[in-house]
A and B are shown apart, each in its own frame.
Chain A
Amino acid sequence: MREIIDYLKSMGIDYADARFVERRNESITVKNGQLEAASRNDGRGVGIRVLHKGCWGFASGSHLNPGDLKKLAAKAVSIAKASAATRKSPVSLAPVEIHRDRYISPFSEDPFAVSLDEKIGLLMKVDETLRKTPKIKIAEASMDFFKTDKIFCSTEGALIEQSIIESGAGYEATAVDKGEAQKRSYPNSHRGDFGCAGYEFIRELDLAGHAEKVAAEAVALLSAPPCPSVSTDIIITGDQMTLQVHESCGHPVELDRVLGTEISLAGGSFMTIDKLGLLKYGSDKVSIVQDSTIPQALGSFGFDDEGVKASRTDIIRNGLFVGYLTSRETAPKVKASPNGTMRADGWNAIPLIRMTNINLEPGEWDFDSLVADTKDGILLSTNKSWSIDDKRLNFQFGVEVAWQVKDGKIGTMYRNPVYTGITPEFWNSCDAICNRSHWRIWGVASCGKGEPMQVAHVAHGVSPARFRNVTVGVSR
């Protein structure tokens, strides 16, 4: 790697970095009593990013001998030269502290050392329990483990080694009857919950202990009445708040997106630079931070893929929009420092601004008190469907289950609940957030962005929250 960096320095470039990444993934899926997939995937390679006369080039390859790496470096330079065809003003990078450091993510039990028998056995037990309930026609349980080792070097002298272990698991039960299909998941949908942790994370989930309840709720949904179409107060549980924060706050504050570089695929953002420090994004109750320093949270790491140290910064402070997720290229455009959010999905992907742990700070309410304080409303739980416009304003979420809240008590279960809103109106209607005892970090291992598509591992610390006068049940 040092040789490559020296070689790049000799080519008259402005800046270059090289990342070696080796990644191992193990994935197990059990469905309806059968082992659908048990796979282990290994990959390694180098990605070289070059800034030449203010234009970017990137080349990646899996051949690691010195000759091939030199060719790869030369290719990255030639691509950067091609990028000059449309140059208007040269890219410059914010200065950052140069690190020569090592980071190992904390874990207690190496998930790759736990036997396949044990993992499959646990998933089979869950699957069996789910299918004991009549009308559960689809039971699916899964585990995923990742180990990523990477070395980052730059022409500025950075040399950072990182080793990160991530683990996750979950399951869903689908009840099917008379043309109706209803699903419940545990601990969350989208293959469950994930942490930057070892197998101890899986043990703490107590997967088997929740299976009976999950199956029973899926079956109960089959005969539940459809969620009414009303404007009402809603209480959203933490698992769904995760997606709410993710789509309507996390993505719109990615500064590369704000500056237009995602328009060709995922769109832009309504949280434009002119609104920084001025937009009343939410009510005074709403404070949101990015924090990549939380031990065992899926969006945590030591350094991002530009060599910037993990940090905690404010995004929304008491409702006011105060900060973005930034990179070395974009931070100067808002007179900020890079906050270490540039991450690449492996060696063959260019770093993009990605969410880290984007957390809604806890409020003061106890959950039971919040329900008791709600005269007429709906309690919504567990994401099923998600959609938002290309500036992140109009959203519609479907959830797996809802319950009527009447005179401070949880009542009738509803199926096919949907709620919709306009992002700042919605967050300004937030009048209560549950306290730290209800606050939990949820890992999301499937955040998509970029072209070619990159998948990032991110997380959201949230607790249940109440929103006033929201449009619910607009699906038909």
Chain B
Amino acid sequence: MIGKDRIIGLLREVVMASDGDFAEAVFTGTDYGLTRYANSIIHQNVADQNSSVAFRVAVGKKIGVASTNIFEKEALIRVCNDALEIAERSVPNRYFNALARPQKYKRLVTFFVSTARVTPAKRAAVVKRICARADRKGLIASGSVSSSMSEIAVVNSGGVEAYQPNTSATVSIIYSSDDSSGYAQGVSRRFERIDLESLVSRAETKCLMSRNPITLDPGKYDVILEPTAVANLLEWLTFIAFSANPYHEKTSFLSGKTGKKIASPALSIYDDGLATRGIAFPFDFEGVPKKKVFFIRRGIGGGPVYDLATARKYKKRSTGHGMPPGNAEGPMPLNVHVAPGSKLPSQMIRAVERGVLVTRFHYINGFLDTPRALLTGMTRDGTFLIEKGKVASGVKNLRFTESMLRAFSNIVAISKGTELIDTWWSDIGCVSAPTIHIKEFNFTGKTEF
């Protein structure tokens, strides 16, 4: 950890000295450890310390971006000048107006010493417990345990000085037998808050219960999607639907549907970077405070998230969802929540006459037909047949191909409990999802295990 004063001080000095009309520096520093295990042994144990500074410099409406991982004054000045040079040789972007102005940010505690102090030995001890349980049950354990510290800062020549230190920890467990597997995961800013015993029990139960899986023919089934499966779907919608560009370019399933009924009234999906029961983070990579944005509110279509450029382009205000300089994808929601319902998962299963319980999806792809949010993917690590309100047996994995517009209209119930699901951006966000019961979910294929 370099610390706020040194990071802000050095970046301020460099951006203020830039000859560009505007200059911005985005700092990301990480101190990351990951212990990965398979076949019930640790096979990969890594640590990485790195920091990166990306400069965005504007000359009029011409923008240049350059970055380095050398956090020394001379190197930073050189790279800031590189960004200026790129800007000078660039062409104007008419949607560029200015960088963010000084802002007030919500005070959030996102750094916890308990996570920062996690050592490789501590992570290995956790893995040892997970593997020992597998050995006792005759199962094979695979997964990972990670802990990280990070610092993110945004400084610009207009006076923005944002800094936030973070910690994050994840545990994922897959228990496997000859013909089954079970999965559980946890994510938290506080390592000790991950309930290892609960995760171990859940993964073990799923693995043991899904032994001797039956083959189910593709078709339309009621599904109980557990929180990880719901989050897997939502991760794709963040790319193809919830951002300003697909929305305004009319390739999103939300395009033209703001204010219209598009889903069950039970469904609300929103992004809220400030919600402390998620992995909260106060500002975006342009230094704009996070705002809450509803994509679907009680079944009614909402709007997308914006950064500064798309806000200007589409005559809106930034919602605080800018991504690091140099990205061409536009704004992204990184703290997606599905509002809870009122049922217990056990009640929801009891309401299913014949259906499929899905723990998680694998290798989803959402590019098939984006205006209909048509997704495809496979089930994985715990797929079960529900009969007469009870989990009857494991099921060999199935392929779904389903429009989320249709699925969201077919929601029967949503659980009152939600879980935080790890994403690749878990330092600054995650998905918070409940269990959801959907009728007539379309399975289009099956596999051999």
Contact = CB atoms under 8 A, between A and B. Distances in A.
Interface of A: 27, 29, 31, 34-45, 55-63, 75-76, 78-80, 82-88, 115-117, 120, 124, 137-138, 140, 142, 174, 176, 179-181, 259-265, 267, 270, 348, 350, 384-391, 393-394, 396, 398, 416, 418, 420, 422, 451-453, 474-476
B187 interface: no
A179 B251 CA distance: 8
Interface in B58-97: 62-70, 79, 82, 86, 89-95
Contacts of A38: 63-65, 86, 90
A451 B36 contact: yes
Nearest to A417: B368
A88 B397 CA distance: 31
Contacts of B424: 453
A137 B47 contact: no
B191 interface: no
Contact of B362 (A85, A86, A389, A416): A389
Contact of A37 (B65, B123, B174, B444): B65
Interface in B213-249: 249
Contacts of B174: 263-264
Given A260-B38, A393-B448, 15 more contacts: A39-B66, A61-B48, A62-B70, A79-B46, A85-B121, A120-B91, A138-B251, A261-B36, A262-B38, A350-B46, A386-B365, A394-B445, A394-B447, A474-B445, A475-B376
Given A43-B52, A85-B124, A85-B128, A34 B93 contact: yes
Interface stretch (B11-19, B138-146, B350-358, B384-392): B138-146
Interface in B265-300: none
A310 B191 CA distance: 42
23 contacts: A29-B328, A39-B64, A63-B49, A85-B124, A85-B125, A86-B42, A86-B128, A87-B41, A116-B86, A137-B250, A138-B251, A384-B367, A387-B363, A387-B365, A387-B376, A389-B399, A390-B363, A390-B397, A393-B447, A398-B365, A420-B445, A452-B32, A475-B368
A311 to B, nearest CB: 24
A62 B128 contact: no
B39 interface: yes
A239 to B, nearest CB: 15
B399 A394 contact: yes
B252 to A, nearest CB: 9
What does DSSP make chain B's interface, helix, strand, loop or mixed? strand
A437 to B, nearest CB: 31
A345 to B, nearest CB: 12
Contacts of A418: 368, 376, 401
Given A60-B47, A174-B251, A453-B424, A385 B447 contact: no
Contacts of A116: 86, 89-90
Given A37-B327, A180-B371, A396-B401, A56 B362 contact: no
A57 B366 CA distance: 37
A136 to B, nearest CB: 11
A43 B68 contact: yes
B364 interface: yes
Contacts, number: 267
A142 B327 CA distance: 12
Contacts of B124: 82-86
A264 B38 contact: yes
A35 B94 CA distance: 9
A124 B90 CA distance: 12
B249 A476 contact: no
Given A389-B363, A475-B376, A86 B399 contact: no
Contact of B448 (A56, A180, A422): A422
Nearest to A33: B94
Contacts of A36: 93, 328
A75 B66 contact: no
B160 interface: no
Contacts of B399: 387, 389, 394, 396, 420
Interface centre among A44, A140, A350, by most chain B C-beta atoms within 10 angstroms, is: A350
A240 to B, nearest CB: 14
Contacts of B128: 85-86
B46 A58 contact: yes
Contacts of A56: 42-45
A75 B47 contact: yes
Interface in B366-418: 366-371, 374, 376-378, 380, 397, 399, 401
B37 interface: yes
Contacts of A270: 448
B114 interface: no
Given A56-B45, A86-B42, A384-B367, A35 B90 contact: yes
A75 to B, nearest CB: 6
Contacts of A384: 367-368
B262 interface: no
Contacts of A87: 41-42
A65 to B, nearest CB: 11
Contacts of B251: 138, 174, 176, 181
Nearest to B43: A261
The list of the 10 closest CB pairs from A to B, nearest first, reads A39-B326, A39-B65, A29-B328, A394-B447, A82-B120, A85-B124, A263-B142, A389-B378, A58-B46, A37-B328
B445 A35 contact: no
B328 A259 contact: no
A475 B50 contact: no
A142 B66 CA distance: 17
Contacts of B250: 137, 176, 179, 181
Contacts of A142: 328
B176 A263 contact: yes
Given A43-B68, A394-B399, A80 B365 contact: no
Contacts of B446: 394
A17 to B, nearest CB: 14
A475 B143 contact: no
B362 to A, nearest CB: 5
Nearest to B51: A62
B325 interface: yes
A133 B50 CA distance: 46
A385 B370 CA distance: 11
B95 A60 contact: no
A174 B367 CA distance: 13
Nearest to B255: A179
Interface string B88-112: 0111111100000000000000000
B447 A115 contact: no
User: Which one of B86, B143, B445 has the greatest number of beta carbons of chain A within 10 Å?
Assistant: B445
A388 B45 contact: no
A31 B245 CA distance: 11
Contact of A176 (B45, B249, B363): B249
A475 B66 contact: no
Contacts of A389: 362-363, 378, 380, 397, 399, 447
Contacts of B362: 267, 389-390
A416 to B, nearest CB: 6
A32 B3 CA distance: 41
Contacts of B131: 86
Contact of B326 (A37, A58, A75, A387): A37
A10 B418 CA distance: 52
Given A38-B63, A42-B79, A396-B445, A264 B142 contact: yes
B77 to A, nearest CB: 14
A137 to B, nearest CB: 6
Contacts of A348: 48, 50
B307 to A, nearest CB: 12
A57 B32 CA distance: 14
Given A34-B94, A264-B143, A42 B41 contact: no
B380 A390 contact: yes
A422 B446 CA distance: 9
Given A115-B89, A416-B368, A452-B32, A42 B448 contact: no
A37 B120 CA distance: 39
A85 B42 contact: yes
